[in-house]
Amino acid sequence: MAAAVSFADVLGIAEDYRKLWEARVSEGAIVDFMDHFQNNLDLLIQKTWVEKADEARKEDLQDMVQPFIDLIEKGNYPEALEEFGVILEELAYLFFGVQSQKEDFSDYVVRIDPRMGLFWWYCGQLNRDGCWIKNVDRDVLYALLLLGICYLTDF
């Protein structure tokens, strides 16, 4: 997991990432962190300004968060990662509108902020053909989930 820790360091989340990786055995630490994640994600969603027509998207996105957290707490990382991809797609749309659906989205965000651009590039990698998830080790899936969770918690 050295590569994941290095990537977390580039994103500026290495301390939280290491702490969560090591705390895997401690249910309480993960549950507490997931509470912080949910609170921060709820704030991000609520504070995002959108057109009236997109208000339902915000509500739908908020409704996806708790089932996603439940999947992680149950250890169902393949399904959690698929759900996380959907959450990230919707969040990108709320933040950036239709620009988030363009092929050069990561490049666009890199010009705004390199770390944020790298994060959205990571998100795009998660959202490619979902079949790859089923062939990946649980630890790798958990590592990939932690990257996004830590980044959004610290956003």
The residue ranges of every structural domain in the chain are 2-154
Contacts of 132 (CB under 8 A, 6+ apart): none
Q: How many residues does the chain have?
A: 155
Average pLDDT, the chain: 88
**Structural element, H or E, at residue 149:** helix 138-154
Q: Which amino acid is at 85?
A: G
Indicate if the pLDDT at residue 151 is higher than 70. yes
Q: Name the one residue in this structure whose structure tokens are 């393949």.
A: 78
Provide the percentage of residues in the chain whose pLDDT is more than 90.
51
**Gap between the Cα atoms of 106 and 87, Å rounded:** 17
Cα–Cα dist 3/146, whole Å: 13
**Predicted local confidence at residue 26, as pLDDT:** 59
* Whole-Å CA distances, 118 to 25, 51, 105, 134, 137: 29, 27, 11, 24, 23
pLDDT tens string 28-81 = 677 788 899 999 999 999 888 878 878 889 899 999 999 999 998 888 999 999
Residue that has been written with the tokens 């969770």 in this structure: 149
CA 60 and chain centroid, separation = 16
Contact (CB, 8 A) for 117 and 107: yes
Query: What pTM, to 2 d.p., does this model score?
Result: 0.89
Asked whether residue 16 carries a pLDDT value surpassing 90, the answer given is no
